[in-house]
Structure 1
Amino acid sequence: MNKILEFTHLVRLSHSLFAMPFAIGSMWVAANGFRDMSAFETARIIVLIVLCMVTARNSAMSFNRIADAKFDAENPRTAKRHLPAGRLSRKSVMAFLALNGILFVVFAWMLQPLAGALAFPVWLLLLSYSYWKRFSWLCHWFLGFAIGMSPLGAWIAVRGEFAVFPIFLLFILMLWMGGFDIIYATQDIEIDRKQGLHSVPARFGLEKSLRIALASHLAMLVLCVVFGFFWNMGWIWWAITGLMTAAIVYIHLFRKSNDLDAMNRDFFLANVAISALVMIGLIVWICMGGDVNELY
């Protein structure tokens, strides 16, 4: 039991709340609210998509811990992570990585042939984000892109095809998570510079980095507006976009504390709230008469 808990802490399972709601919302729209599916087929799709999400994320996080073990050991903030601190062995984490990778591919094949065919290349792409910080300060948005693939993947898992609708969701999530990751990285400005790692804070400093994060979040809001107009998402989407705007404006411009730990905590909560709001907006849109067939 202790080992299981260690692995849940290793992959920071609570952070699944960032992308999972986007994937569920996309899945719900792709399935047209599951109006024409049996209870068994509905349950099968939901369970398999959730399992794909969990195993894909477990793979990416465990590989990240392996790839960054040396850097984590030299960083006071991360030195107590599982591999540097010896709480888990490298072999056990590699076995966990392999198991989750195999399960991800199997679950994807069980959903759709196209999802199965894409699963291994997508898995490799997810793992590759761990290396972006070694050569480019664009790493934050690549992480956002990797996470943003979840709504597109959920769409393909249901419908077996690509579409513009989930690609919009991908870029909305990419811009949101990229901005958040910049803020998260402000904790490691000096150690990143010392270790020769690339990040927006290490390249541009604290103040410019926070402005770049704000710009990324404002771009996300613009994309949300375009998304709402393009597909005529109705009042529920505009209400949610308004709430997201209020949260972003407050945290970036009106919060009183300049403490970075508090800012990261606030953005963690905002991440969960915004992801949940998008999911609710998509599900309510379908329940109020939206039709996926009108998206084509």
Structure 2
Amino acid sequence: MTGSDAAPDGQVADAVKDNWVDTWAPAWSRPYLRLSRADRPIGTWLLLLPCWWGLGVASLMQGRFGWTEAWIALGCAIGAWLMRGAGCTWNDITDRDFDARVARTRSRPIPSGQVTVKQAVIWMVIQSLLAFGILLTFHWNAIWLGIASLALVCIYPFAKRFTWWPQIFLGLAFNWGALLAWTAVTGTLTSPAVLLYLSGIAWTLFYDTIYAHQDTEDDALIGVKSTARLFGADTARWLKWFLVFSVSLMGAGLILALGASVNVLVLVVALGGAWAFGWHLAWQLRLLDIENPERCLALFRSNRNAGLIPVLFLAVAHFL
């Protein structure tokens, strides 16, 4: 692919229509913001929300939400934006040859010629260093967890080359924030955080399998593996199991964290968030059509709302 193959304005094929990058950002910055997926904010939400799950449950367990917790919430939001951008930049560097051969991705900045690999590497380093600066304001144990997550970020782009389950590697990386934010609040990593983390991994398997159904034909041609290709027509049955695991693990984490430290009403409200989260996933299943890429993309994007549901219930529980 060359720059002439891209859209005249450089827009990426699956970007949100009329997004702020294509509309308002200075022209020189747009290729870099597109590398960071700033024109497709759903990924930042999906990286951030497990952080807020861990933060919300940990602060509820400890019975406080002060300035420290507020900074952790904001720091996680900024860090999620930066690290999602750095991770996507790394993904595009490693996948540039694959992206050039897939209809949905050939308009990305590297295969379309908007950015060189060297420029992309520099941009990735800048984002990572800024995120590291935020991480340094957290508890030392959380800092070490943040550093450890880099191994998963580095491995993920290669997973689809050697396993039919690359979504597991995405889940391991994308939900690490549940462990990190919990540890930033409490100073230690304990089992409720691990259960929230596992819940998030099951959720990632759910939503990213839906997402991957957009590319099954191209993936088959170029030899890229995914759970969408593995499950095929049996996808809905697998997604039901991921739904059950995600909701059950979240509920178990809430009970383990809050059962002995809060009143019954607070626990019921918190569990209500897990229940409502599950209903949103069930709604997605009812609308799923794996032969309709536009429907798959819309359902994938709806997981921002799904992941916000437990956060909102936890916020309400803080006022009880």
CA distance in structure 1 between the aligned counterparts of 2:319 and 2:237, rounded to whole angstroms: 38
2:237 is matched with 211
Tell me the alpha carbon deviations over residues 230-265 of structure 1, each in whole angstroms, 9 at most, x when there is no partner: 444633234333322332223213568962321320
Match in the other structure for 1:26: 54
The alpha-carbon deviation at position 116 of structure 1 amounts to: 2.6
Question: Could you tell me which residue of structure 1 aligns to residue 9 of structure 2?
Answer: none
Q: 1:38 to 1:235 in 2, by over 3 A?
A: closer
Partner of 2:127: 100
Aligned to 1:240: 273
Q: Which runs of 5+ in 1 are unaligned?
A: 289-296
Q: Equivalent residue for 1:84? A: 111
2:287 is equivalent to residue 261 of structure 1: no
SS of residue paired to 1:75: coil
Are positions 1:128 and 2:161 aligned together? no
Letter in 2 for 1:84: P
Amino acid at match of 1:22: P
Q: What are the residue-to-residue correspondences of 1:41-60 with 2, within 5 Å?
A: 41-42=68-69, 44-60=71-87
1:223 paired to 2:255: no
Counterpart of 1:171? 198
Report the CA distance between 1:3 and its aligned residue.
3.3
Q: Distance in 1 between matches of 2:236 and 2:64?
A: 46
Could you tell me whether the CA contact under 8 Å between 2:69 and 2:185 is conserved in 1? no
Structure with the higher fraction of residues in helix conformation:
1
Deviation at 1:159, TM superposition (A): 2.7
Tell me how many residue pairs correspond in the alignment.
Answer: 285
Letter in 1 for 2:308: A
SS of corresponding position for 1:111: coil
| Contact 2:135–2:143, Cα closer than 8 Å, also in 1 | yes
* Distance in structure 2 (CA, Å) of the matches to 1:284 and 1:150: 21
Structure 2 residue 34 is the aligned partner of structure 1 residue 9: yes
* Secondary structure in structure 2 of the residue aligned to 1:131: helix
Q: Deviations over 1:127-184 (max 9, x none)?
A: 2111111101121122012111111111222332111222221111111111111111
Distance 1:150 1:253, change over 3 A: same
Whole-angstrom CA distance in 1 between matches of 2:247 and 2:234: 20
Q: Deviations over 1:90-129 (max 9, x none)?
A: 2221111111222233322222222333333312322211
**Cα deviation per residue 1:157-214 (whole Å; 9 max; x = unaligned)?**
233211122222111111111111111111222222222222123334x212333233
State the identity %.
20
Match of 1:293 in 2: none
AA aligned to 1:279 is V
Q: Report the TM-score, using the length of structure 1 for normalisation.
A: 0.85
Q: What is the CA–CA distance in structure 2 between the aligned matches of 1:34 and 1:226, rounded to whole Å?
A: 18
Indicate which of 270, 273, 281 corresponds to 2:305.
273
When structure 1 is superposed on structure 2, of 172-181 and 188-197 the one drifting more is: 188-197
Q: 1:201 to 1:99 in 2, by over 3 A?
A: same
Q: CA RMSD in A?
A: 2.6
Q: TM-score, normalised by structure 2?
A: 0.79
User: Any residues of structure 2 matched to 1:110-121 within 5 Å, and which?
Assistant: 110-121=137-148
Q: Which amino acid aligns with 1:24?
A: W
Shift of 1:70: 0.3
Q: For the structure 1 residues 84 and 110, does the alpha-carbon distance in structure 2 shift closer, same or farther, using more than 3 Å as the test? A: same
Shift of the 228–108 alpha-carbon distance from structure 1 to 2, 3 Å rule, reads closer
1:174 alignment partner AA:
I
Query: Is 1:286 aligned to 2:286, yes or no?
Result: no
Q: Which moved more, 1:68-77 or 1:194-203?
A: 194-203
Question: Given that residues 129 and 142 in structure 1 are in contact (C-alpha distance below 8 angstroms), is that contact kept between their aligned partners in structure 2?
Answer: yes
Distance 1:189 1:101 in 2: 31
- Alignment partners' CA distance in 2, 1:89 and 1:257: 34
Partners in 1 of 2:109 and 2:154 — Cα distance?
A: 18
Residues 28-77 of structure 1 show CA distances to partners (whole Å, capped at 9, x for unaligned) of 443459976764x4554344333332222222111001111100001112
Letter in 1 for 2:33: T
